[in-house]
């Protein structure tokens, strides 16, 4: 494929090129920054994210394809990238006091997270199997290293090893599926694959097998059951700041990968992958919710709840319609916002070197600090799908998409497990408001004012987006229209 690179091509990649240059610059600057002035690395990383988000926003949303059609910049890519960058900015703000308190406030965290963000952005704009895999591995390799950030913790090392082995297995399955799709269609370009898949020809069985491996690999990356076995151990074993990273923006990137692969490339194979996604959705809803009920560790509970949320996200994807893709996009974005707030509150209570990863650590929080108890209530209510919070709107959107696509039985299963899953979220609320305090000492607020302000905005956003969901939903619906 002949690719002529012009100034127009480079301008379309301006956000990615800027973020790459910023990450490399921060890597070099951090070498000459003392530990006492490490805040400079934090500030520059936040500035890089903000400026990248500004470069990403465009007054127009027409589709632009550059580098021989490998890289696409359209409304969906821009929205997903902005959501990733905003979420990553929140991750950096929340992570700072945690890392500083435990001697992990190092430049490697920021550099690896920035490279991971770059990988996510490439995934959102991929129009070619090669570029998609490049972005995926950039994110994956950064994530493996971040999980092992605390080298003195055997739990973190074990989690990193599990994540690496299972992640490599998932990448291998995905790559094997891509090779079969290439063998069946003779192209790596999503448009060409889409055109070839719409024709009846002798290589269709090979293409179906490739789609199967791609769905399995994507399910691994999403954390869908029964390919979720890495999720609870990695969430629990990672430093909470890293768990915060893994639970938020990469979920948007995983949706972007599914959106590009299933919608842009394999749309004509919808009959095959819809059935697979329906099975994965049911398993994720059942296993995620039932396993979460039994957890006493809050990070593991949120890990299993993530599996159940992936089940809801798959409901929208399984519909195979524009409304379904828009609903899943809305779900992924709002879930990332809620997950960031949840782990931000865990970090808030994890003071003086001790963790606050047990549900019992939130006992009596309302007596110690009513405001942060209210914020946690908002997060749990949103994740449970209580009306007026954005989680309810997101769940309703994917259920309506499933019903609209003729998957009434799947929507009923989702509604039933939504009710079952509300139990473990309500248990956290009960512990905060009705149990005696776990710590009789008054709650000490962190010194980091931006942390407190952003956490409050984050929690209130779950309520605000629930009441005024129209603009974001309309944006998702607009960019998902093909």
Q: 46 pLDDT exceeds 80? A: yes
- Work out how many domains the chain is built from and give that number: 1
Average pLDDT over residues 431-446: 76
DSSP annotation of 37:
G
- The answer to the question of residue 274 being in a domain is yes
The reply to whether the predicted model has a pTM over 0.75 is yes
pLDDT digits (tens, 9 = 90+) for 165-177: 999 999 999 999 9
Q: 114: closest CA among 9, 54, 44? A: 44
Q: What pLDDT, on a 0 to 100 scale, did the predictor assign at position 176?
A: 94
What does the mean pLDDT of the chain come to?
90
Q: 83 pLDDT exceeds 90? A: yes
Q: 80: closest CA among 16, 123, 27? A: 123
ω before 228 within 30° of 0 (cis)?
no
Q: What pLDDT, on a 0 to 100 scale, did the predictor assign at position 276?
A: 93
For residue 226, how many C-alpha atoms fall within 13 Å in the half-sphere facing its CB?
1
Q: 6 pLDDT exceeds 70? A: no
Q: 1 pLDDT exceeds 60? A: no
pLDDT digits (tens, 9 = 90+) for 91-112: 999 999 999 888 888 999 999 9
Q: What pLDDT, on a 0 to 100 scale, did the predictor assign at position 287?
A: 95
The answer to whether the CB of 422 falls within 8 A of the CB of 385 is yes
Based on DSSP, count helices (H) and strands (E) in the chain, helices before strands: 21, 2
Q: 299: closest CA among 373, 232, 385? A: 232
Cβ neighbours of 38 (radius 10 Å):
18
Average pLDDT over residues 2-11: 66
- The answer to the question of residue 2 being in a domain is no
DSSP 419-469: HHHHHHHHHHHHHHHHSPPS--SPPPPPS-HHHHHHHHHHHHHHHHHHHT-
Q: What pLDDT, on a 0 to 100 scale, did the predictor assign at position 199?
A: 79
Average pLDDT over residues 381-387: 93
**What are the angstrom distances between the C-alpha of 291 and each of 28, 62, 162, 205?**
44, 44, 20, 36
Q: 88: domain range?
A: 7-480
pLDDT digits (tens, 9 = 90+) for 353-375: 678 888 988 898 888 889 999 99
- The answer to the question of residue 32 being in a domain is yes
DSSP 165-180: HHHHHHHHHHHHHHHH
Average pLDDT over residues 29-52: 91
């Amino acid at each position: 494929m002949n690719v002529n690179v012009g100034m127009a091509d480079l301008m379309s990649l301006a956000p990615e090129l800027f973020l790459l240059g910023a990450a490399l610059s921060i890597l070099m600057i951090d070498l000459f920054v003392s530990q006492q002035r490490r805040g400079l690395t934090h500030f520059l990383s936040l500035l890089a994210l903000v400026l990248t988000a500004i470069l990403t926003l465009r007054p127009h949303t027409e589709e632009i394809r550059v580098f021989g059609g490998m890289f696409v910049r359209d409304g969906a890519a821009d929205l997903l990238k902005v959501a990733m960058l905003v979420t990553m900015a929140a991750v950096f703000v929340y992570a700072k006091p945690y890392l500083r308190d435990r001697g992990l406030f190092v430049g490697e965290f920021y550099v690896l997270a920035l490279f991971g963000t770059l990988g996510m952005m490439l995934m959102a704009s991929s129009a070619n199997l090669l570029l998609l895999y490049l972005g995926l591995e950039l994110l994956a390799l950064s994530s493996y290293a971040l999980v092992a950030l605390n080298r003195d913790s055997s739990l973190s090392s074990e989690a990193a090893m599990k994540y690496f082995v299972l992640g490599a297995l998932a990448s291998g399955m995905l790559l094997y599926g891509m090779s079969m799709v290439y063998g069946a269609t003779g192209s790596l370009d999503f448009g060409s694959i889409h055109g070839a898949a719409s024709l009846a020809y002798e290589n269709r069985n090979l293409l179906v097998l490739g789609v199967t491996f791609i769905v399995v690999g994507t399910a691994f990356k999403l954390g869908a059951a029964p390919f979720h076995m890495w999720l609870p151990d990695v969430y629990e074993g990672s430093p909470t700041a890293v768990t915060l990273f893994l639970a938020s923006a990469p979920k948007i990137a995983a949706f972007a990968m599914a959106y590009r692969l299933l919608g842009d490339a394999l749309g004509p194979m919808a009959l095959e992958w819809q059935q697979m996604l329906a099975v994965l959705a049911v398993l994720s809803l059942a296993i995620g919710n039932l396993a979460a009920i039994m957890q006493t560790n809050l990070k593991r509970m949120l890990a299993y709840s993530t599996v159940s949320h992936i089940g809801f996200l798959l409901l929208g994807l399984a519909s195979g319609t524009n409304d379904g893709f828009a609903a899943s996009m809305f779900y992924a974005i709002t879930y990332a916002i809620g997950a960031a707030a949840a782990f931000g509150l865990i970090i808030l209570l994890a003071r003086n070197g001790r963790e606050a990863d047990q549900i019992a650590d939130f006992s009596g929080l309302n007596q110690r600090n009513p405001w942060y108890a209210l914020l946690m209530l908002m997060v749990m209510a949103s994740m449970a799908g209580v009306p007026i919070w954005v989680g309810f709107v997101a769940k309703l959107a994917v259920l309506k998409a499933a019903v609209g696509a003729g998957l009434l039985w799947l929507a009923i299963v989702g509604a039933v497990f939504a009710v079952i899953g509300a139990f473990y979220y309500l248990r956290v609320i009960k512990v905060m408001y009705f149990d005696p305090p776990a710590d009789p000492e008054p709650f000490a607020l962190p010194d980091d004012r931006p942390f407190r302000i952003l956490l409050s905005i984050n929690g209130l956003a779950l309520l605000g987006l629930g009441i005024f969901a129209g603009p974001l939903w309309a944006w998702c619906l607009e960019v998902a229209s093909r």
